[in-house]
Copies of this chain bind each other. A is one copy, B any other.
Amino acid sequence: MRVHVGPEPAAELQDAVLAAGAELAPAAEATGLVWFGAGPERFAEYDHPGLEWVQLPAAGIEPWLAAGALREGITVTSAAGSYAETVAEHALGLMLAGARGLHQAARAERWDRPERARTLFGTTVGIVGAGGIGRALIGLLRPFGVRVLAINRSGRPVDGAERTWPAEDPDALGTLLERSDHVVVAAPATAATAALIDAAALARMKDDAWLINVARGSLVDTGALVEALDAGRIGGAALDVTDPEPLPDGHPLFGHPRALITPHSANPKPLLLPALARRVRDNVRRRLAGEPLIGVVDLEAGY
């Protein structure tokens, strides 16, 4: 298979094409096109009758639909979901940091043994809002032999979860919180999820459990969380997102012995291109093997 990377010939994406076993070719000779570095207004320059597949660089394809750039007869894939792994990796880092007290070790100026240490092996991980990030996290957690409890909108069983509840089940959240050693919040920010983790929810968590938020700050009641941390009612909290965001200078969560804050950096700009490169490599490999592509866009439906 011959693939072109353009308009911008990003080396990382070209490497991904080659690593998957395809060849690089000029646009006019390529059956596959990995689009990067420009908007849909330039697509016509690259289209030709032999073009069969276009990989777009973003998850949302509204500008392409609005511009009417794509035509029938081309398979189009978006980058939807490709950044979930990046966020899941950050979540795993936060979980391990909490379990091993890395936040406290980082602050130490002397050789102090940590008060306690925990492991992820064999523990129970509750994922509140198990979509793409949750699925990616379950994949990273597989070697740890954890038990996964999940809540999602539909209640459709999440692969790798022992139990999946629909969000509308009134007992779901409390049950998940009571059983989990790590509670990972990865749900979308909606009216229904605002302050989902409030004082009552925190009270149902185990007293040594950690709360991880990689979704949106609005899902956690910050005041209630600070109280729970101060009182030692939960093990700790590692938050990549906060309410308010940014947290004001000197906020009690900064430097809190039971907290680790990262500044909304779970999916940072420098990692967007590597994530896209992984998706390109996957999809080129799948196309060569005749397997279904990831992120195929339905032009009629618009996503």
A residues whose Cβ falls under 8 Å from a Cβ of B: 85-86, 89-90, 92-94, 96-97, 99-114, 116-122, 139-140, 142-145, 245-247, 249-250, 254-255, 260-263, 265, 268, 270-271, 274-275, 277-278
Verify B143–A113 contact, CB threshold 8 A.
no
A145 to B112, CA, bound (A): 35
Contact B89–A94 (Cβ < 8 Å): no
Distance A255 CA – B245 CA, assembled complex (angstroms):
26
A-B contact pairs, 30 of them (CB 8 A): A86-B119, A86-B121, A89-B96, A89-B120, A89-B144, A93-B93, A93-B96, A93-B102, A100-B265, A101-B262, A101-B265, A102-B106, A102-B260, A102-B262, A103-B106, A104-B106, A106-B260, A107-B107, A107-B255, A108-B261, A108-B263, A109-B250, A110-B250, A110-B254, A111-B246, A113-B263, A113-B268, A114-B263, A117-B271, A118-B271
Per the bound structure, the CA–CA distance linking A270 and B113 in Å amounts to: 12
**Chain copies in the assembly?**
2
State in angstroms the CA–CA spacing of A96 and B117 once bound together: 17
How long is the Cα–Cα vector from A107 to B254 in the complex, in angstroms? 8
Contact yes or no, B265 A108, CB < 8 A = no
Q: A93-B96, A94-B102 are in contact. Are A121 and B274 (CB under 8 A)?
A: yes
Q: A113-B265, A116-B270 are in contact. List 5 more A-B contacts (CB 8 A).
A: A90-B100, A93-B102, A109-B250, A111-B249, A114-B268
B117 with A268: CB separation less than 8 A? yes
- Do A97 and B102 form a contact, CB below 8 Å, given A114-B265, A254-B110? yes
User: In the assembly, what is the distance between CA of A261 and CA of B100, in Å?
Assistant: 12
Q: When A142-B143, A250-B110 are in contact, do A271 and B119 touch as well, CB less than 8 Å?
A: yes
Contact A261 B105 (CB under 8 A): yes
For A263, list chain B residues within 8 Å (CB).
Answer: 105, 108, 111-114
CB of A82, distance to nearest CB on chain B (Å)? 11
Partner of A140, one of B103, B144, B265: B144
Q: A278's contact among B101, B111, B121, by CB below 8 Å, is which?
A: B121
Interchain CA distance A198-B271 in the complex, whole Å? 31
Assuming the contacts A110-B249, A114-B263, A247-B111, asked whether A102 and B103 have C-beta atoms less than 8 A apart, the reply is: yes
The 6 closest A-B pairs by CB, nearest first: A93-B96, A111-B246, A106-B106, A103-B106, A117-B268, A110-B249
Shortest Cβ distance from A92 into chain B, in angstroms?
6
Q: Give the Cβ gap from A39 to chain B, nearest Cβ, in Å.
A: 26
B-chain residues with CB within 8 Å of residue A89 when the two chains form the complex: 96, 99-100, 119-121, 144
Q: A122 to chain B: which residues have CB within 8 Å?
A: 274, 277-278
Contacts of A271 in B (CB 8 A): 117-119
List B contacts of A92 (CB < 8 A): 96
B117 lies within 8 A of A270 (CB): yes
A119 to B127, CA, bound (A): 22
